[in-house]
Structures are given as structure tokens and as C-alpha cells.
Amino acid sequence: MADIDDELDDRAGTVRPYTVTGGRTRAGSEDLPLESLVRTVTDPAHAPGVIERRRILEMTRDTMLSVAELSAHLRLPLGVVRVLVADLSDERRVVVHRPTAAMANPATNLKVLESVLNGISAL
């Protein structure tokens, strides 16, 4: 873990961001909402490819994290993380929970908003 972190530290700021995706952007991946939750469903140790891919798998093994949180923790731009997550999802290494997958947009669901209101009030 520490080694990986060191390696990420060394990279930060010294490499163009899209280097980790091989310079690829990816059509469609920009549709992945920032608040989509990612969860690992495979063993991170067996993931080939750049170190950032393995980091994503490790970070989301015990807890789900959003695309935005992965971007912040990895210090990679959102667009890069979206490409990596879309790749990992295609390879069935992670499951991506989009906010709109389970129901129509939760932000326009009165029941959800009621729960949000009650939840905030009780904080």
C-alpha cells in the first residue's frame, strides 16, 4: 500500500493526466455521474495495467466510493477516473451503481426528498 502511495506521489504533477489511460479518452464515459458509486468485485492483485487501476480496486474493496472521491484520493482529473472506472466495469472488476439505475432520478422522487429532509433535520 505504502509503495503504491509513494509511487502515486512521485507521479503527481510530473505526468500528463491522461498518460494513465494511454492517452485515451472514452466516448460515453463522461456520462458517468460524479456521484456514481464504485465497488470492487474481484481481487485487486490480479488486475493488469497501470497502478491507478489497482488503487481503485483496493480503495473500493471494503467500501463504496464515488467517482468524485476516487478522483480526489488519486489526485487524478475526473475524466481520467471516468475512463479507468468504465474500463474496470467492462472487465467486470467493479460494479458501478449509478444514481438513476435503481429508480428514476432520485432527486425528483418525493419519497427520497422526504427522507433527505428528515435526515438533514435529524443531524
Partner 1 sequence: MAFLRSDVVTAGVQAPAAPAQDTAPVTVKIVIAGGFAVGKTTFIGSISDIEPLSTEAAMTEHSIGVDDAGGVSDRKTTTTVAMDFGRISLPGNLWLYLFGTPGQDRFLFMWDDLTRGAIGAVVLVDTERLDACFDAVDYFEARRIPFVVAVNCFDGIARHSLDDVREALAVSPDVPVLYTDARSRAATKQTLITLVGLAMSRLR
Site for partner 1, rule CB under 8 A? 16-18, 25, 30, 33-37, 39, 63-64, 66, 68-69, 71-73, 77-80, 97, 99-100, 102-103, 105-108, 110, 112-123
Which alpha helices (H) appear in 1-123, and where do they start and end? 2-11, 51-59, 67-74, 78-90, 110-121
For the bound state, the minimum distance from the C-beta of residue 120 to partner 1, rounded and expressed in Å, comes to 5
- What lies within 8 Å, CB to CB, of 122 at 6+ separation is none
For the bound state, the minimum distance from the C-beta of residue 3 to partner 1, rounded and expressed in Å, comes to 23
38 φ/ψ angles, rounded to the nearest 5 degrees: -115, 135
Q: Which is nearer to partner 1, 2 or 118 (CB)?
A: 118
Helix, strand, or coil (residue 107): helix
Q: Which is nearer to partner 1, 3 or 108 (CB)?
A: 108
Cα–chain center distance at 34: 8
Cα–chain center distance at 73: 10
For the bound state, the minimum distance from the C-beta of residue 81 to partner 1, rounded and expressed in Å, comes to 8
Q: Which is nearer to partner 1, 4 or 107 (CB)?
A: 107
Q: Give the Cα separation of 63 and 31 in Å (integer).
A: 23
Q: Which is nearer to partner 1, 3 or 62 (CB)?
A: 62
For the bound state, the minimum distance from the C-beta of residue 86 to partner 1, rounded and expressed in Å, comes to 14
